[in-house]
Structure formats: C-alpha cells, structure tokens
Amino acid sequence: EAGVTQSPTHLIKTRGQQATLRCSPISGHTSVYWYQQALGLGLQFLLWYDEGEERNRGNFPPRFSGRQFPNYSSELNVNALELEDSALYLCASSFAENTEAFFGQGTRLTVV
C-alpha cells in the first residue's frame, strides 16, 4: 500500500512568487494535515482538511491557503512568498479522529 506522497520534492521560488505543493493521502484516509518545519525548528501546524472542508488552521497569515479535492488529495498554496517561508512542508493523513497520522517525505521549499 502506498504511503502519503508529496510533490514536488524540491521547489525553488523567488520572493513574491506563488508556490503550490501537492499531497496524496493514504488510500482510505479522509483527513489531510499540513505542517511547516523550518530549519532546526519543530513542526508547526498549518491546516487540516477533512471531507473536502477546512476544519482548522494554525497561526499563519492568509497567504497560506489550500484545498482538498473529492479524491481527498490536497494542495497547499503559498502566495507572495517571503524568504522566511523557506522550510520543509510536510503533509500527513489519517482516517478518523485520534487515529494514527502518517507523514509524507515533504516538499523542501526554498525562497530566494
């Protein structure tokens, strides 16, 4: 069974541009979570999608947004990129409340 897959693995953008990151959850999982992991820092909660709807978001500005598609895959969009947005963006999926969340390998976003 395939795990959580994220694309692309690496992304380089210039300041002010937009970035789009994609995530495919484990088959059968309906929830997708996005986390930001800046270099040397822990995991900061960004967004949670379930059944196509945004259920919760972390302390991030509105230029971080996303959506979940009918097949439960998800997209994270970051507008007006800033240098400090450079980080590893991790996606995780789970199928019910308080069940195991499994992470993908992440997308390394570099803003220059």
Residue 38 near other proteins by CB under 8 A:
no
- Contact between 64 and other proteins (CB under 8 A)? no
Segment contacting other proteins (CB under 8 A): 21-29, 66-74, 75-83, 93-101?
A: 93-101
Which of 14, 18, 56, 77 contacts other proteins by CB under 8 A?
56
Minimum distance, C-beta of residue 34 to other proteins, in the bound complex (Å): 11
The answer to whether residue 95 forms part of the interface with other proteins (CB under 8 A) is no
Got the DSSP string for 27-61?
TT--EEEEEEE-TTS-EEEEEEEETTEEEEE-S--
> Smallest gap, in angstroms, from Cβ of residue 104 to other proteins?
5
Please, which residues have CB within 8 angstroms of residue 99's CB and are 6 or more apart in sequence?
A: none
Nearer to other proteins, 78 or 92 (CB): 92
Which SS3 state, helix, strand or coil, does residue 83 take? helix
The DSSP 8-state label assigned to residue 70 in this structure reads T
Q: Which of 36, 33, 66 is nearest to 48 (CA)?
A: 33
